[in-house]
Amino acid sequence: MTSIAKDLPIKIYVPRDSSALSLGANRTAKAIQQEAHKRGIEIEIIRNGSRGLFWLEPFVEVATANGRVAFAPVQPKDVASLFDASFLNPDSSTAKAHSLNLGLTEELEWLKKQQRLTFARIGITDPVSLDDYLAHDGYKGLANALKLTPAEIVKTVTDSGLRGRGGAAFPTGIKWNTVLGAGEIGVQKYIVCNADEGDSGTYSDRMVMEDDPFVLIEGMTIAGIAVGANQGYIYLRSEYPHALHILNEAIAKAEAAGYLGENICGTNHRFKLEVRRAAGAYVCGEETSLLESLEGKRGLVRFKPPLPAIEGLFGKPTVVNNVISLATIPIILDKGAQFYADYGMGRSRGTLPIQLAGNIKHGGLVELAFGATLRELLYDFGGGSYTGKPIRAVQVGGPLGAFLPESQFDTPLDYEEFSKIWAVLGHGGIVAFDDTVDMAKMARYAFEFCAIESCGKCTPCRIGSSRGVEVIDKIINGTDVEKNTKLVRDLSDTMLNGSLCALGGMTPYPVLSAMNHFAEDFVPNSKPTLKKIIDIVVA
Amino acid sequence: MANALSIEKLTTIQSLITQHKEMPGALIPLLHAIQDTIGYIPEDSYLPISRALALSVAEVHGVVTFYHHFRTFPIGKHILYVCRAESCQAMGAEKLEAIIKAKLNIDYHQTTSDGAITLEPIYCLGNCACSPAVMMDDEVYGRMDNQKMADLINEARAS
């Protein structure tokens, strides 16, 4: 070992992503540092992003001439045994024999089967190292964009087929084109990044911001140049404190290096970027509510028209795009529209960063071209449920997405295919539930969540959600079940058609899909009530 | 007002107002700054804020109360957020929630009698591959079970 230590310090990677930290990555990094010091071995610990195999965090890697070798999951108690096995020399027979040795990271099937475009660098680089970013194709997209006219940049984005990854799937290029053509020449315009990722089961925005912040900054800069906006805001949810610090650090570094601010890369372009913290209102993920919030108001949804592209932030033409949409722009500008459009199926072009969540054995980030089936995701990648019981239901697309039964697991991930089965892909979050789930309870929760988060502007959402909770409770308690079931369907119809935005308008998706696909759970007294279960557990 | 603010807090608030008032859309960044600095947003601050930003007191009150993150009362030494969203529910969040409430002997929006921990619900921490999750102050913890939860609470109480 000591002979190795005399050479350059060996590089060890320990992720700093929030999910890795949530499983003890800081303690692991500290234990490795201390153990190396104790043994007089010089090492360099790099705090990279996460590769996204969260069941294996803390995911430690050792750099070798052939690539990085993974040891995972590493808890502080494992560290001494790793040193004893000479893990800093992964080719040694003892290191190879160590139970945590997973071999070369790049050879892991889970990663090899993916098509990582937006997430190309994530888990590989040090998130706040601009040099690392540049060494891994960073700012190549901007370099190309600077050679194009604004209309040519917009056309590239349109031709790539990229659609809004926040959930609405509106073509990004068309939105940009509207902002490009809006207002008088020289009018103030804005780029707003919607980083209010509130959907349960989603964390891809968080990963981009924590694990590769420069790609978002680059994407927003390109957007600014494309539509003629010189100010950008990242509206970041307050639940992501690490992302806030990392983004601010990256923005300062990009500015210092001339990638943000005045005269970007020596040109006449100017683009300023600022992170604004949200304050815990789910509805502010809706773009007009978000704009109200950025203006310092309550997050009340606006009537449309006017579209934000015409009258957005402070009444000016504004691009509002999700983190993933903006973070995908650099690779499109780098490799070209056709390169990106060659992935995917039908009208869903490119890739989708899918997030496996909930009761799943191998939860994590899977970026794939559109077209893979839910079943492949849940079993080939996810490995089935965490508890080992059958997966009974999955909710795709966050709290406003439909619950899908096993019979729909062969649906390909494609915006239109999901529409056909009255479901949504949303932001690509997949939450799995095993067979202990009570779907009547989930339907009730959907209404409850809507009631908690409703902005209150429109009646179907404000009142409908509270009445929905009451009526579901009646069904659960066996009161006039037939009448009340009809009432829930009537109420859902009103919310679907009469709400101002997707919060009220889509709450019926989880409610009705639960009722339609899992009708047996809505038969009263068929099982112990939630209260009974909790009473038993707490006792 | 029941608890008049100390001169010190009022001076802090006034200086934060001065720092933020020229920002476009200043109110929410200002409210964050006040809460980050003194732990909550005292109702006594509404009047000076409204004057500086040319708003009514009602508008300031409306914004403070619209957002779940803002609070108008002091909290304990630590704040524990428990995720109630679907992914955590799929991994037993309700059981965890009941255990936490029993252990702390408080409900949501309350503070333990020793002033150590304030309990709040939260809807998604973005740690959904490691559910159930909680957040203590600014740190997220995943795959929580009874033991890990008890350790975390004891650690917070001791610090």
One domain, residues A324 and A423: no
CATH code, domain with A85: 3.40.30.10
Q: By the CB < 8 Å criterion, does A23 face chain B?
A: yes
Q: By the CB < 8 Å criterion, does B47 face chain A?
A: no
One domain, residues A529 and A455: yes
Residues of chain A positioned with their CB less than 8 A from the CB of B41: none
Residue at A122 is within a domain: no
Mean pLDDT by 10 residues, chain A (539 residues): 60 98 98 98 97 98 97 98 97 97 98 98 98 98 98 98 96 98 95 97 98 98 98 98 98 98 97 98 97 98 97 98 98 98 97 98 98 98 98 97 98 97 97 98 98 97 98 95 97 97 97 97 69 59
3-state secondary structure of A437: coil
One domain, residues A333 and A313: yes
Contact (CB, 8 A) for B70 and B35: yes
Find the CB nearest A296 among B28, B125, B126. B28
What string of DSSP letters covers A211-276?
H-HHHHHHHHHHHHHHHT--EEEEEE-TT-HHHHHHHHHHHHHHHHTTSSBSSGGGSS--BEEEEE
Q: pLDDT tens for residues B78-126?
A: 999 999 999 999 999 999 999 999 999 999 999 999 999 999 999 999 9
Tokens representing residue A152 in the block:
């040519």
- H helices of A397-529, in order, are 415-420, 439-453, 459-476, 481-498, 502-506, 508-517
Nearest C-alpha in A relative to B131: A358
Q: Which residues pair with A61 in a beta bridge?
A: A13, A70
Q: pLDDT tens for residues A50-97?
A: 999 999 999 999 999 999 999 999 999 999 999 999 999 999 999 999
Residues of chain A positioned with their CB less than 8 A from the CB of B67: 278-281, 299
3-state secondary structure of A50: coil
Q: Which residues pair with A194 in a beta bridge?
A: A235, A322
Asked if the Cβ–Cβ distance from B127 to A395 is below 8 Å, we say no
At A233, which amino acid appears? Y
Match 């909790």 to its residue by tokens. Answer: A534
Distance from CA of A281 to the nearest CA of B (A): 6
User: What's the DSSP call for residue A342?
Assistant: T
CATH code, domain with A293: 3.40.50.11540
Residue at A521 is within a domain: yes
Find the CB nearest B127 among A22, A279, A538. A22
At A28, which amino acid appears? T
One domain, residues A38 and A174: no
Asked if the Cβ–Cβ distance from A198 to B123 is below 8 Å, we say yes
One domain, residues A387 and A501: no
Q: pLDDT tens for residues A259-305?
A: 999 999 999 999 999 999 999 999 999 999 999 999 999 999 999 99
Distance from CA of A271 to the nearest CA of B (A): 16
CATH code, domain with A521: 1.20.1440.230
Residue at A124 is within a domain: no
Distance from CA of B137 to the nearest CA of A (A): 10
Contact (CB, 8 A) for A385 and A379: no
Nearest CA-CA partner of A168 in A199, A191, A201, A189: A199
Q: Is the pLDDT of residue B1 over 60?
A: no
Residue at A119 is within a domain: no
CB proximity under 8 Å: B 2-21 to A: none
Residue at A118 is within a domain: no
Query: What is the C-alpha to C-alpha distance for residues A188 and A475, in angstroms, rounded to an integer?
Result: 53
Asked if the Cβ–Cβ distance from A276 to B123 is below 8 Å, we say no
Distance from CA of A174 to the nearest CA of B (A): 28
Give chain A's domain count: 4
- What confidence category does residue B65 fall into, taking pLDDT thresholds of 50, 70 and 90? very high
Fold of the domain spanning B78-158: Glutaredoxin (3.40.30)
User: What's the DSSP call for residue A424?
Assistant: -
Position A163 scores a pLDDT of 98
Can you give the residue ranges of every domain in chain B? Answer: 7-66, 78-158
Interface test mutation site (partner A, options B28, B35, B79, B143, max chain A beta carbons within 10 A): B28
One domain, residues A101 and A163: no
**Over chain B, what HEC string results?**
CCCCCCHHHHHHHHHHHHHHCCCCCCHHHHHHHHHHHHCCCCHHHHHHHHHHHCCCHHHHHHHHHHCCCCCCCCCCCEEEEEECCHHHHCCCHHHHHHHHHHHHCCCCCEECCCCCEEEEEECCCCCHHHCCCEEECCEEECCCCHHHHHHHHHHHHHC
Find the CB nearest A295 among B25, B85, B122. B25
Find the CB nearest A356 among B53, B122, B129. B129
Match 């009142």 to its residue by tokens. Answer: A463
3-state secondary structure of A520: helix
Distance from CA of B6 to the nearest CA of A (A): 26
Residues of chain A positioned with their CB less than 8 A from the CB of B141: 22
Q: Taking all residues of chain B, what is their mean pLDDT, rounded to a whole number?
A: 96
Q: Where in the sequence is the domain holding A287, given as residue range(s)? A: 130-341
Residues of chain B positioned with their CB less than 8 A from the CB of A434: 90
Residue at A103 is within a domain: yes
Q: By the CB < 8 Å criterion, does B139 face chain A?
A: yes
Find the CB nearest A18 among B27, B63, B140. B140
Contact (CB, 8 A) for A420 and A456: no
What string of DSSP letters covers A154-207?
HHHHHHHT-B-TTTT--BHHHHHHHHHT-SSTT---EEEEEE----TT--HHHH
Distance from CA of A417 to the nearest CA of B (A): 24
Position A4 scores a pLDDT of 47
Cβ-count burial of A7 within 10 angstroms (0-12 exposed, 13-18 middle, 19+ buried)?
Answer: exposed
One domain, residues A45 and A179: no
Query: What is the C-alpha to C-alpha distance for residues B72 and A202, in angstroms, rounded to an integer?
Result: 30
Tokens representing residue B97 in the block:
């929630």
Match 């054995």 to its residue by tokens. Answer: A361
Distance from CA of A155 to the nearest CA of B (A): 32
Q: By the CB < 8 Å criterion, does A357 face chain B?
A: yes
Find the CB nearest A238 among B69, B91, B98. B69
One domain, residues A348 and A336: no
Strands A10-13, A60-64: pairing kind: antiparallel
Residues of chain A positioned with their CB less than 8 A from the CB of B135: 239
Query: What is the C-alpha to C-alpha distance for residues A414 and A400, in angstroms, rounded to an integer?
Result: 17
Q: Is the ipTM of this complex over 0.95?
A: yes
Tallying the residues shown for chain A, one arrives at 539
Asked if the Cβ–Cβ distance from B131 to A357 is below 8 Å, we say yes
One domain, residues A419 and A443: no
Residue at A121 is within a domain: no
Residue at A503 is within a domain: yes
Q: Of the residues A299, A323, A341, which one is the last residue of a structural domain?
A: A341
Position A3 scores a pLDDT of 44
Q: By the CB < 8 Å criterion, does A276 face chain B?
A: yes
Query: What is the C-alpha to C-alpha distance for residues B141 and B146, in angstroms, rounded to an integer?
Result: 13
Asked if the Cβ–Cβ distance from B128 to A22 is below 8 Å, we say no
Nearest C-alpha in A relative to B121: A280
Nearest C-alpha in B relative to A24: B141
Q: Which residues pair with A69 in a beta bridge?
A: A62, A104
Nearest C-alpha in A relative to B26: A296
Position A524 scores a pLDDT of 74
